[in-house]
Structure 1
Amino acid sequence: MPSLLRFPRPRTFLHLISLRTATEFIAFTLAINKVTGLYGILALLTGYHLNPLQLSHYIYSLAILGLICYLSPAIRQRDADGVVKTVALAWVYVVDSAVNSVYTTLFGAGWFVILAQHLNEGSAGGSKAPGAGTMNDTAGFTSPEHTVGKVDVIATPAPGAMPGQEAVAYASGDGSNLGNVLFERGSVASITVLALLWLIRIYFCLIILSYARSTLRQYIASTSAGQYTQTDDPTMAENPFHAGREEGAGWRGKLGRFMLRFPTRRYWLGRDEGEEEWVRATSGRFESGRNLKIKVPAENGGVGERERRARSGTGPPLPGAGVKGKVPQ
Structure 2
Amino acid sequence: MPSILHFPRPRTFLHLISLRTATEFIAFTLAINKVTGLYGILALLTGYHLNPLQLSHYIYSLAVLALVCYLSPAIRQRDGDGVLKTLALAWLYVLDSVVNSVYTSLFGTGWFLILAQHLNEGTPVTGGVPGAGTMNATAGFTSPEHSVSQVDVIAAPGSGVLAGQEAVAFASGDGSGGTLGSVLFERGSIASIMVLGLLWLIRIYFCIIVLSFARSTVRQYIASTSTSTTATGSGYTQTDDPTMAESPFRAGGAREEGAGWRGGLGRLMLRFPSRRYWLGRDESEEEWVRATEGRFGGGGGGRGLRVKVPTGESVASGVGERERRARSGTGPPVPLVVGSKGMVPQ
TM-score (norm 1): 0.84
Give the aligned partner of residue 272 of structure 2: 262
Measure how far apart 1:171 and its partner are: 1.9
Measure how far apart 1:238 and its partner are: 1.3
- The equivalences for 1:50-65 within 5 A come to 50-65=50-65
CA spacing shift, 1:161–1:209, aligned 2, 3 Å: farther
Q: Which of 204, 207, 221 is equivalent to 1:205?
A: 207
Deviation digits for residues 218-253 of structure 1 (CA, Å, limit 9, x no counterpart) = 001101124976312221111111012311001111
Deviation digits for residues 52-103 of structure 1 (CA, Å, limit 9, x no counterpart) = 0000000000000000000000000000000000011000000000000000
1-structure distance, mates of 2:180, 2:210: 37
2-structure distance, mates of 1:69, 1:278: 38
Give the aligned partner of residue 10 of structure 1: 10
CA contact (8 A) 2:113 2:126 kept: no
Give the aligned partner of residue 259 of structure 2: 249
Measure how far apart 1:320 and its partner are: 11
Secondary structure of the corresponding residue to residue 275 of structure 1 = helix
CA contact (8 A) 1:125 1:136 kept: no
1-structure distance, mates of 2:156, 2:285: 88
Give the aligned partner of residue 306 of structure 1: 312
Does 2:188 align with 1:186? yes
More divergent stretch after superposition (106-115 vs 271-280): 271-280
Give the aligned partner of residue 284 of structure 2: 274
- The equivalences for 1:1-329 within 5 A come to 1-121=1-121, 127-160=127-160, 163-173=163-173, 174=175, 175-226=177-228, 230-243=238-251, 244=253, 245-276=255-286, 305-307=311-313, 313-316=317-320
More divergent stretch after superposition (94-103 vs 134-143): 134-143
1-structure distance, mates of 2:212, 2:204: 12
Secondary structure of the corresponding residue to residue 240 of structure 1 = coil
2-structure distance, mates of 1:156, 1:70: 75
Measure how far apart 1:148 and its partner are: 1.4
Measure how far apart 1:121 and its partner are: 0.7
Structure 1 unaligned spans of 5+: 281-291, 295-303, 325-329
1-structure distance, mates of 2:82, 2:163: 92
Secondary structure of the corresponding residue to residue 274 of structure 1 = helix
More divergent stretch after superposition (148-157 vs 47-56): 148-157
Secondary structure of the corresponding residue to residue 243 of structure 2 = coil
CA contact (8 A) 2:158 2:165 kept: yes
CA contact (8 A) 1:72 1:86 kept: yes
More divergent stretch after superposition (169-178 vs 21-30): 169-178
- Residue identity over aligned pairs, in percent, reads 76
2-structure distance, mates of 1:309, 1:203: 56
Measure how far apart 1:172 and its partner are: 2.7
Measure how far apart 1:307 and its partner are: 4.5
Secondary structure of the corresponding residue to residue 219 of structure 1 = helix
More divergent stretch after superposition (221-230 vs 67-76): 221-230
Give the aligned partner of residue 289 of structure 1: none
TM-score (norm 2): 0.80
More divergent stretch after superposition (50-59 vs 219-228): 219-228
CA contact (8 A) 1:123 1:142 kept: no
Instruction: Tell me: higher relative CO, structure 1 or 2? Use CA pairs within 8 A at least 6 residues apart.
Output: 1
Structure 2 unaligned spans of 5+: 230-234, 291-297, 301-309, 329-346
2-structure distance, mates of 1:210, 1:30: 17
The letter for the 2-side match of 1:251 is W
Secondary structure of the corresponding residue to residue 171 of structure 2 = strand
Measure how far apart 1:137 and its partner are: 1.4
Measure how far apart 1:154 and its partner are: 2.2
Measure how far apart 1:142 and its partner are: 2.9
The size of the alignment, in residue pairs, is 303
CA contact (8 A) 1:19 1:207 kept: yes
CA contact (8 A) 1:87 1:212 kept: yes
